[in-house]
């Protein structure tokens, strides 16, 4: 029996970075959370404490800030690709890098009907995300969004499910459908125009949620993914996680009031959790695209 070192990586997690573009009096704010991780030959550090291959997590953090100053940010996918390529090019024993970025949206405050030059408000809880994985010369880009909360006040049914001993749920032909979308989509290539693609995929997801008359959240999820893949051949695969944010009618009969689908209670837990991957059958191989921060 021997004990051996398994897959490993190390980096700086959650580097918070705000970049202000002051090249015009109309400032632009970019607000990021960046996590880096390096892969390669780091056995000695783990096995004997020999740090001669360790590009410190402190240096990785410094690189992120310095690159933001030297080259600006641009689209988060391109910023992540620049960083990953730098790390992999810096020492021969660094064979791969994973750079994950979350971007928080800020919108201009409107003053006297006009957008302000340098005053902003956070635009909700929604985040744009990317994970760039470099494996030698091969680059893999997975982009997405999280915290996109959507609701339909009608146009959703749920019936036709089997009834076992424990099934109590009533069938319904009209219910509220609400969810918080986490979507991550894998691009087929790394040399794309990522800004318009993000906007387009997001719009495909949101408009399909609105358009589809839902028979199940599962059906809505699939149709959202299918629409995005149909519209954007650059997207190879999309993975979605959508909690069913249940809305329950309140029983108002103790107060001699009816409740014709007007007043709901919204417990935040438990929630149904609907998750699926929608993919092309001819998608290029995913490689290490989905390897997480936890090395799964």
Ligand X SMILES: O=c1[nH]c(=O)c2[nH]c(=O)[nH]c2[nH]1
The footprint of ligand X (CB under 6 A) covers: 158, 169, 216-218, 244, 272
Q: Are 143 and 130 in contact (CB under 8 A)?
A: yes
Query: Is 110 one of the catalytic residues?
Result: no
Annotation-wise, does 158 bind a ligand? yes
Closer residue to ligand X in complex, CB, 9/218: 218
Q: Are 149 and 180 in contact (CB under 8 A)?
A: yes
Token look-up 């007007």 returns 262
Among the options 19, 57, 152, 247, which is catalytic? 57
Annotation-wise, does 51 bind a ligand? no
What's the closest the beta carbon of residue 30 comes to ligand X, in angstroms?
Answer: 37
Annotation-wise, does 57 bind a ligand? yes
Max Cα separation, the chain? Answer: 77
Distance CA 252, CA 288 (A): 54
Annotation-wise, does 128 bind a ligand? no
Let me know the angle formed at the C-alpha of 148 by 80 and 68, rounded to the nearest 5 degrees: 25
What's the closest the beta carbon of residue 160 comes to ligand X, in angstroms?
Answer: 11
Annotation-wise, does 218 bind a ligand? yes
What's the closest the beta carbon of residue 244 comes to ligand X, in angstroms?
Answer: 5
Distance CA 246, CA 104 (A): 27
Among the options 127, 135, 245, 246, which is catalytic? 246
Query: Is 246 one of the catalytic residues?
Result: yes
Query: Is 57 one of the catalytic residues?
Result: yes
Helix (H, G, I), strand (E, B) or coil at 245: coil
Closer residue to ligand X in complex, CB, 28/247: 247
Residue, CB closest to ligand X: 217
What are the residues whose beta carbons fall under 8 Å from the beta carbon of 245, sequence distance 6 or more?
A: 149, 151, 178, 179, 180, 266, 268, 271
Q: Which residues are annotated as a binding site for O2?
A: 57, 244
Q: Which residues are annotated as a binding site for urate?
A: 57-58, 158, 175, 218, 244
Q: Residues with catalytic annotation? A: 12, 57, 246
């Amino acid at each position: 029996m021997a004990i051996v070192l398994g897959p490993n990586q190390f980096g700086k997690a959650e580097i918070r970075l705000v970049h202000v573009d002051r090249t015009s009096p109309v400032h632009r704010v970019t607000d990021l959370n960046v996590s880096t991780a390096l892969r390669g030959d780091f056995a000695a550090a783990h096995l004997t404490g020999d740090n001669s291959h360790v590009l410190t997590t402190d240096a990785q953090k410094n690189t992120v800030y310095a690159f933001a100053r030297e080259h600006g940010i641009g689209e988060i996918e391109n910023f992540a690709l620049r960083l990953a390529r730098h790390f992999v090019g810096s020492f021969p024993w660094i064979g791969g890098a994973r750079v994950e970025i979350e971007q928080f949206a800020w919108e201009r405050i409107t003053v006297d009907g006009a957008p302000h030059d340098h005053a902003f408000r956070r635009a909700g809880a929604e985040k744009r995300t990317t994970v760039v994985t470099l494996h030698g010369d091969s680059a893999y880009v997975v982009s997405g969004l999280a915290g996109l909360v959507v609701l339909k006040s009608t146009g959703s049914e749920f019936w036709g499910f089997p009834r076992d001993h424990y099934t109590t749920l009533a069938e319904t032909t009209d219910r509220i459908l609400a969810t918080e979308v986490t979507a991550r989509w894998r691009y087929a290539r790394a040399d794309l125009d990522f800004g318009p693609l993000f906007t387009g995929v997001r719009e495909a997801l949101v408009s399909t949620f609105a358009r589809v008359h839902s028979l199940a959240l599962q059906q809505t999820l699939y149709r959202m993914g299918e629409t995005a893949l149909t519209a954007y051949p650059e997207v190879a695969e999309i993975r979605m996680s959508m909690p069913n944010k249940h809305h329950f009618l309140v029983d108002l009969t103790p107060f001699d009031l009816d409740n014709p689908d007007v007043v709901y209670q919204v417990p935040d837990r438990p929630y149904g959790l609907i998750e699926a991957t929608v993919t092309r059958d001819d998608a290029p191989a995913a490689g290490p695209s989905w390897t997480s921060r936890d090395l799964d």
